[in-house]
Structure 1
Amino acid sequence: MKILHLADLHIGKKINEFSMIEDQKFILKKILEIMDDVKPHAVIIAGDVYDKTVPTIEAIELLDDFIFEISKREISTFIISGNHDSAERLSFGAKVMKFGKIYISPVFDGKISKYTLSDENGKINFYLMPFLKPMNVKKFFLDEEINSYDDAARLIVKNMNIDVSQRNILIAHQFVTETSQSELEEKNVGGLDNISAEIFCDFDYVALGHIHKAYSIGEKKRIRYCGSPLKYSLSEVNVEKSVTIVEINSKDDFKTEIVSLVPLRDMQVIKGTFEEITKNSFYCDINTKNYISMTLTDENEVPNALQKLRDIYENILKLDYDNKRTQKYNKIDFEKIKKRDPFEVFSEFYELQNNQKMTAEQEEIMKNLIGEIWEVEL
């Protein structure tokens, strides 16, 4: 059985007030094209389907279109809620959607939804575990001691009654690590939400969401974060995005394939002087519609720099400076300056802030201002 693993769509996401809807429409269309090429038997969306618990109308319409396109292809699709989703809103209409082979995890009621598909190799079970906090689990297991995410996950899996003779897939949206249980007990004192990977040893594949970078856990590589389909943070500038194709023909016959995703607009970092980065020779080979973190190295601030730069680079997410003023941190001792001459105090402040002295023109301006304010002649 071939399965396409997705997660962390974050539909409706904004980055520094830039709406990602157009980018998300583009990438979801590309994912549909991958489905047409790969022809999976099932699709998994492992949480954080929306970016907000109360999604925008645009976000709802985009998800509706995406799910409709998948259902037209008659592909069984399994969706769980993540920590960014409202389980109640995401699961609205879930009973009707089952007729279109779209299965959505309901609000947690103490049990985990299980759906079974079959192929020439027998049955394969999909367990849908939405994002859960210990308190969500505890109210259904009052007699159990649940002090951590690890305790909660361990108890939930224990109550699944997994038939290990069949192929089993878990869909979850949690922070899973290779950390041992004893190490977790020490870490959880600090409130970390780690869940030990060894809890899921009875599953043939664990399709995870929550971490935006794609990577596998454990020697067998059967516990995997597929990552988000788009870059949603400047920390991901150098991260390649992809979808994961999983093929499980038998318990021993397992393989994965990574299919790269090319976005409508990439995310990148640009650094240089204002003069350098506004030359046509500098940006002629750059997609100037990309989402950009811009750093200017000019010693003096450029007036209206952001507005001027956006005439070329329209999607600047961030603008800052890297120069003598920003490279050094200086501290002011306010107790020592209370009785000192205002001009001397300001001169020192300027030098501390800018790592250079005022020009003669700037000194003259400040002397005139201080003279007017304090009514003294400098």
Structure 2
Amino acid sequence: MRLLHTSDWHLGRSFHGVGMLDAQRNFVDQLVSLVQSKSVDVVLIAGDVYDRALPGLDVVKLLDDALVRITQAGAGVVLTSGNHDSAIRLGFASRLLERGGVHLRTKVEDIDVPVLFPLGGDENAKNSTLNGQVVVYGIPYLEPRLVAERLGAENANHFDVTLAAVERIRRDVEARRASGPVYPVVLAHTFASGGITSESERDLSIGGLGAVPLDLFDDFAYTALGHLHGRQELAPHVRYSGSPLAYSFSEAKHHKGAWLVDLDAGGVIAVEEVLWEAPKALATLRGTLDDLLGAEEHAWAENAYCQITLTDTQRPAQAMERVRTRFPDTLVLSFDPQGAAARTSTSYSNRLAEAEDDLGVCCGFLDHVRDRDASDAEEAALREALEAVRLQEAEL
């Protein structure tokens, strides 16, 4: 049996004000093509399907289209809810969707209710007792304060509620093994110990206390994790697929993709990385304005989404407009003046006290708010304005 492990689609998300729906449609196209070309049996989506609890109509339509195309390509779907999803809304019509091969696991009550797939495909369904079954369990995002009592967890924290969920699954697995071989696969939307985070993820716990240990998943053939946006292997049988697209500049060096997981009677026999093609690259550039605009080494970033930090001692005039002459898709521009310590060591109140006249006050204010001295033209304009005020006051 071949599984495709994905997660964190975040349909409907924007990237620094740029809509990403077209890029997400492109990802769906790639996913459906891979399902067909690689003969994928089941697509796993480990939470955060949507970016918000109330997605827009076009976003809902995109998920609807994706699920229809995946099932038409011959694969089943098992989907859990994440911390960005509304579990109730995402789980709507789950019993009806199951008839079409889309299996939703968004309820605490369904944690130990697996989706059953005969090992070897539908042709072996009649011999599933002999050949074994892949049993897929979905653990949706568990908010400890809301689910601890329902799960019988000792304490309302991420470790205890996840432990309670996993113990329910283990009991069900053991009961099924009395009738034949089973190969448990678990989807979980959580922060597992050892995972590397990105800026685009929402913290699951204040103070970083939401991590759960990997050994909770030791008894399963494969654990498909969601929440962290970087594709990573925590153990051979415990992995994050990461998000299909970069959702922050901290992910500029990520290679976005998924995992193809092959299982047989011996368990997981192969895990292969899958890479998604991004419609636009991300670039994080740093340097003086003249260097960035002139250096040939930055040519590759001219068609990328850019985050640029200018290090000029004084903040350049019309910085964004000038940057965008070469890098038109600059989305974030910040300033980190180098060699400017002496300029910033004097407080603004001291600058006012040191000003010799009103013109010095005005020029000092400009310097304070933008880290750049007044130009000759600006100083002349300020001098003219101050003179006009003096003349007007003299006439009163």
Q: Do the aligned partners of 2:316 and 2:372 also contact (CA within 8 Å) in 1?
A: no
Give ranges in structure 1 of 5+ residues lacking alignment.
Answer: 180-187
| C-alpha distance in structure 1 between counterparts of 2:377 and 2:294, whole Å | 31
SS in 2 for 1:159: helix
144 and 357 in structure 1: CA distance in 2 versus 1, 3 angstrom threshold? closer
SS at match of 2:219: coil
Q: Which has the higher helix share?
A: 2
**Contact 2:108 2:140 survives alignment (8 Å):** yes
User: 1:196 maps to what in 2?
Assistant: 213
After alignment, is 89-98 or 106-115 more displaced?
Answer: 106-115
**Equivalent residue for 1:151?**
160
Distance 2:189 2:335 in 1: 38
Aligned partner of 1:233: which letter? S
- TM-score, normalised by the number of residues in structure 2: 0.79
Matched, 1:138 2:154: no
2:237 to 218, 222, 227: 222
Encode CA deviations 1:156-191: one digit per residue, 9 max, x unaligned: 111221435521011010001159xxxxxxxx9946
Match of 1:185 in 2: none
> CA 1:263–1:253 in structure 2 vs 1: closer, same or farther (change >3 Å)?
closer
Does the aligned pair in 1 maintain the 2:311–2:338 contact within 8 Å? Answer: no
Judge conservation of contact 2:314–2:373 (CA < 8 Å) in 1.
no
Q: Distance in 2 between matches of 1:72 and 1:290?
A: 35
Cα 1:333–1:209, aligned 2, differ >3 Å: closer, same or farther? same
Supply the AA of the counterpart residue of 2:61.
E
Separation (CA, whole Å) in 1 of partners of 2:327 and 2:194: 42
CA deviations on 1:15-66 (whole Å, 9 max, x unpaired) are: 1110000111111101111111111111100001011111111111111111
The 1-side partners of 2:326 and 2:162 are apart by: 50
Name the residue aligned to 1:247. 262
Q: Percent identity?
A: 24
Quote the residue 2:183 is aligned against: 167
Q: Provide the alpha-carbon RMSD of the alignment.
A: 3.5
CA change 1:259–1:189 in 2 (3 A) is closer
Q: CA deviation at 1:247?
A: 0.9
> Of 212, 232, 247, which aligns to 2:229?
212
Output the CA distance in 1 between the equivalents of 2:31 and 2:257: 9
Pick closer, same or farther for the CA change 1:327–1:259 going to 2, 3 Å.
Answer: farther
Measure, in 1, the Cα distance between the counterparts of 2:135 and 2:326.
Answer: 52
Q: Secondary structure at the match of 1:33?
A: helix
Question: Does the aligned pair in 2 maintain the 1:3–1:245 contact within 8 Å?
Answer: yes
Whether the aligned pair in 1 keeps the contact of 2:159 and 2:211 (CA below 8 Å) is: yes
Separation in structure 2 between the aligned mates of residue 117 and residue 293 of structure 1, nearest angstrom: 46
Q: Distance in 2 between matches of 1:319 and 1:328?
A: 23
Amino acid of the structure 2 residue aligned with 1:75: A
Give the secondary structure class of the aligned counterpart of 1:230: coil
How far did residue 202 of structure 1 move? 1.2
**AA at the equivalent of 1:151:** D
Q: For 1:260, which of 275, 282, 286 is the aligned residue? A: 275
Is 209-218 or 130-139 further displaced after alignment? 130-139
Q: Is the 8 A contact 2:222 2:268 kept in 1?
A: no
Maintained 8 Å contact 1:297/1:322? yes
3-state SS in 2 of match to 1:126: strand
- How many residues are treated as equivalent by the alignment? 365
Separation (CA, whole Å) in 1 of partners of 2:209 and 2:264: 36
User: Partners of 1:325 and 1:60 in 2: how far apart?
Assistant: 51
Question: Quick check: 2:21–2:59 contact (8 Å CA) kept in 1?
Answer: yes
**Alpha-carbon distance change, 281 to 213 in structure 1, aligned in 2, over 3 angstroms:** closer
- Matched with 2:64 is 64
Change (3 A) 1:359 1:72: closer
SS in 2 for 1:163: helix
Q: 1:346 to 1:287 in 2, by over 3 A?
A: closer
Contact 2:46-2:79 within 8 A present in 1 as well: yes
**Structure 2: how far apart are the matches of 1:24 and 1:189?**
30
Mapped partners of 2:13, 2:5: distance in 1: 20
| SS of alignment partner, residue 45 of structure 1 | strand
Which position in structure 2 is the counterpart of 1:108?
A: 108
Q: CA offset at residue 287 of structure 1?
A: 6.7
After superposing the two structures, state which structure 1 stretch, 256-265 or 114-123, moved more.
114-123
Going from structure 1 to structure 2, the CA distance change for 1:18 and 1:351 (only over 3 Å counts) comes to closer
The 1:24/1:288 distance shift into structure 2, 3 A limit, reads: farther
- Name the counterpart of 2:55: 55
CA distance in 1, matches of 2:65, 2:343: 51
Which residue number in structure 2 is paired with residue 184 of structure 1? Answer: none
Change (3 A) 1:334 1:271: closer
The one-letter amino acid paired with 2:92 is F
Q: Specify the alignment match of 2:134 in structure 1.
A: 124
- Residue from 317, 320, 323 that aligns with 2:331: 317
- CA 1:138–1:316 in 2, change beyond 3 Å: closer, same or farther? same
Structure 2 vs 1, CA of residues 330 and 296 (structure 1 numbering), >3 Å: closer, same or farther?
Answer: closer
